[in-house]
Amino acid sequence: MILGPVGALPQPSSNCQRKCGEIDVPYPFGIGPYDSPDHCAMPGFNLSCDGNRGLRLLNPDLVVLNISLLQGQARMLNPISSACYNNSTNPRAERSNGWHMNLTDTPYRFSDAHNMFTVIGCRTLAYIQAGDTTGYMSGCVAMCRRSDVKTMREGSCFGIGCCQTAIPKGMAYYSVYFDGNFNATDIKDVSACSYAVLMDSSNFTFRTSYTTSPEFYSAYGGRAPLVVDWAIGNETCEEAYKKPESYACVSSNSNCFDSFSGRGYICNCSKGFEGNPYLSNGCQDIDECMDQKKYPCYGTCHNTAGGFDCFCPPAIAIGLSVAAGSLLLSLSGLFLIRKWRRHAQRQTQRKYFRKNKGLLLEQLILSDQIASDNTKIFSFEELQKATNNFDPTRMLGSGGHGMVYKGILSDQRVVAIKKSKVIKEDEINQFINEVAILSQINHRNIVKLFGCCLETEVPLLVYDFIPNGSLFETIHGDPSKEYTLSWDDCLRIATEAAGALCYLHSAATISIFHRDVKSSNILLDANYIAKVSDFGASRLIPTDQTHVVTNVQGTYGYLDPEYYHTGKLNEKSDVYSFGVVLLELLLRKKPIFICESGLKTNLSNHFLEVIKGRPITDIVAAQVLGEASESEINSVAALAESCLRIRGEERPTMKQVEMTLQSLRIERLSSCPAPPRDDEKIEIPPVLSTRPVENLQPLNIGLRSSDNNLASSACYKLQGEFISSANLAR
């Protein structure tokens, strides 16, 4: 055994086994009991290795595929739950094996950034439930008729045959079980089995044959890959550093980072070093001069501890001459000058990179180790090429927080590149934290952040490009456009946006307050699914705290008056702004509009004044009046009014807003006549349709307006939206 510094954790012996088959087992992980004399593992990180069974956790008994020190993650195999019909005449007779996993007293948590609860089948509702005090419960509905089996699309997991939903951050226990109220005996010969599993979604692609055969189960051998986050202890870096006897970042060239899972910390080698930060002298210097491709130097390279210096070539004295060789010398001089300029530009980019805390962000988002579709740090040259040198014709728009350009990356992904306004020096750390946290967001109704560039004076953010513009443009733009939002669309989009904000507000330890919720920041993708965007004004606040800001930000017409006057920022500020969005959908008026008197009027003030003495049906848009029932209009108006209350404490939470909208959609669904028959009908499970509204958990429902299979009936279309996915209370 090797002893560390006095008072520090003991170091593992060189006798420890560090491979199991082809899998590396780096410390703090180890094979065998953690309290062995060799100290091969830290407490909780001990594994077993069996030649036939592979590398496994001891409790629970799970196969380990690989371990990443840099990311603080591990991949494991998670059993797939299934429910299969037998030959009984009982409509729900089945062989069903649910599953539960308990990581509560371990260093592991299920990664919300990588895993999705995935359900496959027809007429299938499966639940995932946490067994802790959070009360978290969620579910997914995978639905299809007999004819849908023939027309399902490969790769589409939005409810027809396949459904996926996100999980919350920091979850350590879950159980899976199937609902027994779907009557699908008339389709069991086509789709006899249903499957449910929490799995890594990064490499999952739905195949239509998964619903009609055991192929999904057999393709993964009954166990799907699962990503878990792991962390040391339950303390923050600051707290752990004060206890040298247990502090795990023992290498002199290591840094500590708080876990994104909400508890504990991980260690990484400092920039310019590589190795194992949990071992004394485990982080060794990288010789950048040996890898000119990764660390370009147009001159003389000199390796330094944690970095390298690049010296320009010595000046070349060129004697002026009219001789024949002068032209060659001039060309050589121009070549050297251009090379020097490129080097100078690179040095400037490095200066901005350091100023913008790029070294810290590299450690936080671990960009060089994760898959290409995850967050990374882009070079300025990459984004120049993607935007044709920021051609003005590529500009998508500009706003209070900067300009947005359309770009095409080298892998052909279409992106939106946002150039923010100048960030003050004291805001850089906040910016870095926001990017690091937003890079972990995994929600189908939030625009995906691909990464950023820190090599310019003003950092650039790279987002997924959303093709159909914003909700604002759709409801206030040209009325002759081919696509106009129906009332069903409005309810769905409002529900999706509310679910996204609820997700942001309800993170495990850090809540994200958007601070600029408005219809122009709710984008619509190719299928008119809502995507909440633009986090330029967002703030990260510890859960259940109120934050006092000195610079109140927001958009006039949407801005919470209580926040404006007091500077106290909490989740209810976003609720107020969302109430204005609901009014836009009801009245089809802009937040600041010109009323009949010719004066500019605030929409929320106008609404609150009118409903004192007139029915809401007098002022709603004609299209809404023609498509929505009076009860629905009154309910949405009442919800908007509650969101717009002056005192934030009297407003509902975004979770309550989402629940109310979900209830409205379910009520609208239940009032629909029976859908046209194909060769069977779709039933809404009693567990969803018969519960009292006040006890109803929110469902996250996604619509694909272009789905031709659901176009024959407006009500049937709504049923299709409903069953396309379900995300019960977070």
**Nearest CA-CA partner of 4 in 12, 35, 25, 37:** 12
Query: Encoding tokens for residue 707?
Result: 């789905």
What whole-number distance in Å separates Cα of residue 579 and Cα of residue 368? Answer: 41
Query: Could you say which DSSP state residue 160 is in?
Result: B
Query: Could you say which DSSP state residue 472 is in?
Result: H
Specify whether the backbone of 412 is left (phi greater than 0), alpha (psi in -120 to 50) or beta.
left
DSSP of 381-433, one letter per residue? HHHHHHTTTT-GGGEEEEETTEEEEEEE-TT--EEEEEEEPPPPGGGHHHHHH
Per DSSP (E only), the strands in 203-333 are 223-230, 254-258, 265-269, 273-275, 283-285, 300-304, 307-311
Sign, CA torsion 462/463/464/465 = negative
CA angle 184, 187, 190 (to 5 degrees): 140
Tallying the residues shown for the chain, one arrives at 730
What whole-number distance in Å separates Cα of residue 211 and Cα of residue 514? Answer: 39
- 303 forms bridges with which residues in the sheet? 308
Structural contact between residues 474 and 529, judged by C-beta atoms closer than 8 angstroms: no
> Which one of 258, 464, 488, 516 is the catalytic residue?
516
Amino acid identity, position 404: V
Question: What residue has token string 């982080």?
Answer: 283
What whole-number distance in Å separates Cα of residue 161 and Cα of residue 410? Answer: 33
282 HSE (CA, 13 A, CB side): 23
351 labeled binding residue: no
449 three-state secondary structure? strand
516 classed as catalytic: yes
Question: What crossing angle do the helices spanning 630-643 and 603-610 adopt, rounded to 10°?
Answer: 120
Question: What residue has token string 């958009």?
Answer: 555
Structural contact between residues 724 and 702, judged by C-beta atoms closer than 8 angstroms: yes
Give catalytic residues, as residue numbers.
Answer: 516
Which residues are documented as binding site? 419
Which residues are documented as binding site for ATP? 419
